Structure 1
Amino acid sequence: METLGTHLRFISWNVRGMGNPVKRSRVFAHLKRQTSDVVFLQETHLRTKDQHRLYCPWVSQVFHSNFNSKSRGVAILISKRCQFSATNIIADRDGRYLIVAGTVMQTKVLLVNVYAPNFDDVEFVNKLLSNIPCLSTHLLILGGDLNCVFNPTLDRSNPLNLTQSAMSRSFIDFMEQNGLVDPWRSRNPSTKKFSFFSPVHHSFSRIDYFLIDSALNSCVNSIDYLGIVISDHSPLLLDIQISTAKRNTSLWRFNSLLLAEREFCNFISNTVNDFLAFNQTESVSYSLLWETLKCYLRGQIISYSAFTNKNNNARINKLTSVIRNLDHLYALNPSPELLKQRIDSQAEFDRITTKEFSFITSSTVLRN
């Protein structure tokens, strides 16, 4: 058993559909890369019978509110590292919100995942907020795609209309009445940063949020918007100091897809030759030599895989950062050159993460 740190990592992300298996695997890989503990997903586009598709090797609990396979749907995923026990679940029949009350690390919390309508529907917001229970006994963590900006000047790249929507005013009133804060804005009071890109309007906006109980604000280690990749929304990452957890170590299994890589095959061939040149003597039996070679190869393969994964993750993180910076520059000064760089970077990101899908699928089969 490995002891974790004392923080939990929350991620909120509008993924724009989880029906496609390749995209679903890329989403899960991206979330795993961020070491997610509690994930709020919007627009899952899955039916009730397909809820099992939201499970993956690092997820232990799934809560889902669906609408149909073409639109809406919200889910909360709990990782195996997170000690969470649900006590009450409220799922919107229209797939717009999901409320889960429970305890995490012996702390009573209220998890609320929201996918708001993309028009100014204040009745939806009022209905949602009136349905949130246990506000006096639980710490609220509300996240999701709220489809409105709280500050039109700061939260839009091209703020043509500076009037607050009725939805945003309703959310802000609820925050003031219940002692909630927008932890990203409280740490970045005058910064422009965006979570959504509209290719139709060539504009950016910040419409994805975490709103948390003010008692948790001092427990926030970090909060940031990641690059807009895979979906047209940015994942929002929130680290909160709560308690400790344990991680179970899993058994190692060889990923046979490595055999399709010429570089790996050359590495193994050279490794075996070097091992035999040093260890094959008359005093060593073939059975002992074979058992020793297997142990040695296991260590070498683990080392090779770790090195390769580290390089791939570094490249993916680099591309994510590049895409995020390009989005920022494009929001300030759109140009065909920046758009081309953005498309090229996205294409490389897609190529790497799609290849990663094959390895994840193979690893999952091996574990099962």
Structure 2
Amino acid sequence: MTSLKIGSLNCRGLSEEVKRRDFFSRYRKRYDIIILTDTHCTKEKEKQWAHEWGYKAFFSSGSSRSRGVAILIKNSFTFTIHQEKKDQEGNFIILDMTIQDYRLSLVAIYGPNGDSPTFFENIKGLVSGIKNSSIIMAGDWNVVQDFDKDTSNYSAKNNIRAHDKILDMIESLDLVDIWRALNPDTKRFTWRGPGLKQSRLDYFLISSDLEPFVKNVDMDISYRSDHSPVYLTLQFYNQIKEVG
């Protein structure tokens, strides 16, 4: 039996060492795997950050002022990385991995700020190419799932074409917005902006075969960011089918 707690948060830049070490210390205690977006890490700093983290770390780095994605993994469980796919702009990382006996694709997403359907079309192609039936995707998507339920004080819908591509990916890969599935009518938000704007930009999409293993999915307390972390706890009782 394997319990796994995955956290995802937009950290709003960790180039400042004091803030970075504070974040690592805080979330190392909370999660087994951490997906970070908006890291502001550079390729030159990746080894230093990995050393400060103290365990295994994967990066897709942007600049010291924008973008950047990381997946930080603790040594609290046994895992194997079969392959890694990422872009060079700090927008996504895809890990084909086995956690003990469980094979899955773990995807870190930092969606473009603008309406970019080709980005999500590319993600769909890369994930489907790995051919794992079990998929966990998380991050700051910069796109809501349901405009009525997932936004507050917005004057108009935005990123509509990207939204439609995500819906297409959900259908194609048999994914579920697991927090919404368990909270069908709840209005809660992960991002707070100017003019009292709020939206649920950070969430997990998981393959439907993982739904029986979900123990908990929720939002955490915001800390030194305008985003709240989201987290997913899985309790595996039966082996997820390996690719064969």
Q: TM-score, normalised to structure 1's length?
A: 0.61
Instruction: Give the Cα separation in 1 of the matches to 2:210 and 2:93.
Output: 21
**Aligned AA (2:134):** L
| Cα RMSD after superposing both structures | 2.0
Choose which of 154, 158, 164 in structure 1 pairs with 2:153: 158
Structure 1 residue 218: Cα displacement = 1.3
- Provide, for residues 168-216 of structure 1, a one-character-per-residue CA deviation record: whole Å limited to 9, x for no partner: 1111111112211011000000000100011x23211000111011110
Corresponding position of 1:15? 11
Choose which of 210, 216, 228 in structure 1 pairs with 2:210: 216
Q: Which consecutive aligned stretches of 4+ in structure 1 deviate over 4 angstroms post-superposition?
A: 56-59
Question: Secondary structure of the equivalent of 2:89?
Answer: coil
Task: Evaluate the alpha carbon distance shift between residue 6 and residue 103 of structure 1 in structure 2; reply closer, same or farther with a 3 A threshold.
Answer: closer
The percentage of counterpart residues that share the same residue type is 32
* 1:152-301 map, 5 Å: 152-161=147-156, 165-198=160-193, 200-242=194-236
Corresponding position of 1:118? 113
Structure 1 residue 16: Cα displacement = 1.2
**Aligned AA (2:19):** K
User: Which segment is superposed worse, 46-55 or 159-168?
Assistant: 159-168
Task: Evaluate the alpha carbon distance shift between residue 152 and residue 28 of structure 1 in structure 2; reply closer, same or farther with a 3 A threshold.
Answer: same
Structure 1 residue 58: Cα displacement = 6.6
Structure 1 residue 27: Cα displacement = 1.0
Choose which of 21, 25, 34 in structure 1 pairs with 2:21: 25
Structure 1 residue 89: Cα displacement = 0.7
Corresponding position of 2:59? 64
- Point out where structure 2 has 5 or more consecutive residues left out of the alignment: 238-244
User: Which segment is superposed worse, 204-213 or 58-67?
Assistant: 58-67
Task: Evaluate the alpha carbon distance shift between residue 29 and residue 194 of structure 1 in structure 2; reply closer, same or farther with a 3 A threshold.
Answer: same
Higher relative contact order (CA 8 A, sep 6+): 2
Q: Which has the higher helix share?
A: 1
Question: Secondary structure of the equivalent of 2:66?
Answer: coil
Instruction: Give the Cα separation in 2 of the matches to 1:40 and 1:215.
Output: 21
Structure 1 residue 135: Cα displacement = 5.1
Structure 1 residue 59: Cα displacement = 4.3
Corresponding position of 1:309? none
Structure 1 residue 133: Cα displacement = 4.2
**Aligned AA (2:12):** R
Q: Which has the higher strand share?
A: 2
Choose which of 50, 61, 68 in structure 2 pairs with 1:73: 68
Does the Cα contact within 8 Å between 2:70 and 2:93 map onto a contact in 1? Answer: yes
Instruction: Give the Cα separation in 2 of the matches to 1:174 and 1:44.
Output: 26
Does the Cα contact within 8 Å between 1:151 and 1:164 map onto a contact in 2? Answer: no
Instruction: Give the Cα separation in 1 of the matches to 2:136 and 2:15.
Output: 27
Instruction: Give the Cα separation in 2 of the matches to 1:10 and 1:234.
Output: 14
Does the Cα contact within 8 Å between 1:129 and 1:174 map onto a contact in 2? Answer: yes
Q: TM-score, normalised to structure 2's length?
A: 0.91
User: Which segment is superposed worse, 57-66 or 95-104?
Assistant: 57-66
**Aligned AA (2:21):** S
Question: Secondary structure of the equivalent of 1:218?
Answer: helix
Does the Cα contact within 8 Å between 1:223 and 1:237 map onto a contact in 2? Answer: yes
**Aligned AA (2:146):** N
Task: Evaluate the alpha carbon distance shift between residue 80 and residue 171 of structure 1 in structure 2; reply closer, same or farther with a 3 A threshold.
Answer: same
Does the Cα contact within 8 Å between 1:181 and 1:211 map onto a contact in 2? Answer: yes
Instruction: Give the Cα separation in 1 of the matches to 2:120 and 2:2.
Output: 33
Instruction: Give the Cα separation in 1 of the matches to 2:48 and 2:189.
Output: 30
